[in-house]
Structure 1
Amino acid sequence: MELLRLTTLYLLSFTLLLHGLHAADPLWHTCSSPKNYTANGPFNNNLNQLLSSLPTKVSVKGFGIGSVGKRPDQANGLALCRGDVSSSDCKTCLVGAISDVRDLCPYKEEAVIWFDNCLLRYSNDNFFGKIDTVNGFYMWNTQSVDDPAMFNQKTREFLHHLSLDAYLNPLMYASGDMDIGKHEKLYGLAQCTRDLSSGDCKKCLESAIGELPACCDGKKGGRVIGGSCNIRYELYPFVNA
């Protein structure tokens, strides 16, 4: 059963050799709610209060959730920084995310925005503790490997190992590397938002790995990125030591 079936799916290709992605640019965003809130209305005021508190709160531990107000105007928010990101870089990413999501999703009651270093999500619905099966996207390197079958098998085994480490880790994050040849290594990470249970983190990551054939078959790098978990592999190191 694929719990991370992305019903709104955006397919993005990338190669760092062909074009650069500025660190301050979002990877992607989605404005999920068809309903708008009004300027200076109760939801807007609650959202302002929520978003103003998240960067400092989250930068300490790399993750945070919060709710402000009462239904139907309650603002619920979640923010996650990549497990290897420093506190200062985490805060910088979230401050930028808040500014960008306001511009990209004006007056929307639900939105998600992803960066290399952080994720920000808010909604008028309480989504905490539930696997997000709606929001997400793929990214992949446009270059292919010489032996796709062997590479795909090793990549899946490697990411399954990282996923095991991640859902058993209180931080729900794991990264590492694996030799796949005499002169080549595979690098990867797996991470969940910490509102999930360990069991749901496991389900989310397993579902993400199951998505790899749809996006990244035989590709030198790939990501499956959702609102509750993400996986990534590359043939070069990309996390901070």
Structure 2
Amino acid sequence: MSSARFVLLPLCSALLLRAALGADPLFHFCSTTENFTTNSLYQSNLDKLTSFLYTKTPSSGFSLGSVGQYQDQVYGLALCRGDASPSVCKACVADAGTEIHHLCPRNKGAVIWYDNCMFKYLDSDFFGQIDNVNKFYMWNLNDVSDPVAFNGKVRGMLNRLTKAAYSVPRLYATGEKGLGGKTKLYGLVQCTRDLSPAECKQCLEGAIGELPSCCDGKEGGRVVGGSCNFRYEIYPFVNV
């Protein structure tokens, strides 16, 4: 999303990793520079766009569109996690569309994340642009015994998954890696499908580059942004 429209709030130092299904939002941002008035044409267009994304997203897990023209035009997209079923996706997009209007009631742009989906909109065309502004971290509070070796394995797995993700139309990949004994490392990477493969690669590589700031030596972590995200854990969290 356009960096001119959003401000990056302090990263979520108190957030814990959780595997919530249909729970509260993970995080959200509201635009700070532009507002619309109640019952305006922009609000009507936003309501129509929200309904459109709710209807169109579950079939493929992703949808984007715009409604209106000139100063009243609104652009938006919704992305569901790659392992979310159509019913879970539909419920998540419905929750996201409702909740973001409560959290950002008159903002011309906003983005909200749940565990199973993301929903964002803006009053200018942001499609195909890597959103490096709206971003937050989550991590497990538990530390690993050998952070240097563990960090290397995390980075290696995420780099491998990145290559797999930008090579397929869904821009999504999951995988696992043995850590010795019965312990395994599980990972997921995903991009919004308005990005090209090259842009997806760039976005995920940038997110992985933030591992030292996000999750150094932690058993699990995420970097979540408006265009891509990754997650890793030492327990399975992907629906199969």
Query: Under TM normalisation by the shorter chain, which class is it?
Result: over 0.9
- Higher strand proportion: 1
CA-based RMSD of the aligned residues comes to: 1.4
- In structure 2, what is the Cα distance between the partners aligned to 1:192 and 1:105? 24
User: For 1:163, what is the secondary structure of its paired residue?
Assistant: helix
- In structure 1, what is the Cα distance between the partners aligned to 2:17 and 2:115? 15
The structure-2 alpha-carbon separation of the partners of 1:206 and 1:9, relative to structure 1 and needing over 3 Å to count, comes to: farther
| 1:167-195 per-position Cα deviation (integer Å, ceiling 9, x unaligned) | 11110000111101121100000000000
- In structure 2, what is the Cα distance between the partners aligned to 1:31 and 1:161? 33
TM-score, normalised by the number of residues in structure 1:
0.93
Q: Which residue of 2 aligns with 1:39?
A: 38
Q: Which residue of 2 aligns with 1:14?
A: 16
The offset of 1:33, in angstroms, is 3.3
Q: Which residue of 2 aligns with 1:238?
A: 237
The structure-2 alpha-carbon separation of the partners of 1:15 and 1:197, relative to structure 1 and needing over 3 Å to count, comes to: closer
Q: How many matched pairs?
A: 233
The offset of 1:71, in angstroms, is 1.7
- In structure 2, what is the Cα distance between the partners aligned to 1:217 and 1:88? 35
The structure-2 alpha-carbon separation of the partners of 1:15 and 1:55, relative to structure 1 and needing over 3 Å to count, comes to: closer
- In structure 2, what is the Cα distance between the partners aligned to 1:206 and 1:71? 35
Gaps of 5+ in 1: 1-5
The offset of 1:40, in angstroms, is 1.2
Contact 2:22–2:92, Cα closer than 8 Å, also in 1? no
- Identity rate of aligned residues, in percent? 53
Q: Which residue of 2 aligns with 1:172?
A: 171
Which runs of at least 4 in structure 1 moved beyond 4 Å after TM superposition?
none
Q: Which residue of 2 aligns with 1:3?
A: none
User: For 2:99, what is the secondary structure of its paired residue?
Assistant: helix
- In structure 2, what is the Cα distance between the partners aligned to 1:173 and 1:58? 16
- In structure 1, what is the Cα distance between the partners aligned to 2:77 and 2:118? 8
User: For 2:11, what is the secondary structure of its paired residue?
Assistant: strand
Letter in 2 for 1:145: V
Q: Which residue of 2 aligns with 1:129?
A: 128
The offset of 1:222, in angstroms, is 0.2
- In structure 2, what is the Cα distance between the partners aligned to 1:50 and 1:24? 24
| 1:12-60 per-position Cα deviation (integer Å, ceiling 9, x unaligned) | 43155xxx85632100001023221011111101101110111120000
Contact 1:35–1:109, Cα closer than 8 Å, also in 2? yes
- In structure 2, what is the Cα distance between the partners aligned to 1:155 and 1:208? 13
The structure-2 alpha-carbon separation of the partners of 1:203 and 1:105, relative to structure 1 and needing over 3 Å to count, comes to: same
Say yes or no: does 1:150 pair with 2:149.
yes
Contact 1:24–1:93, Cα closer than 8 Å, also in 2? no
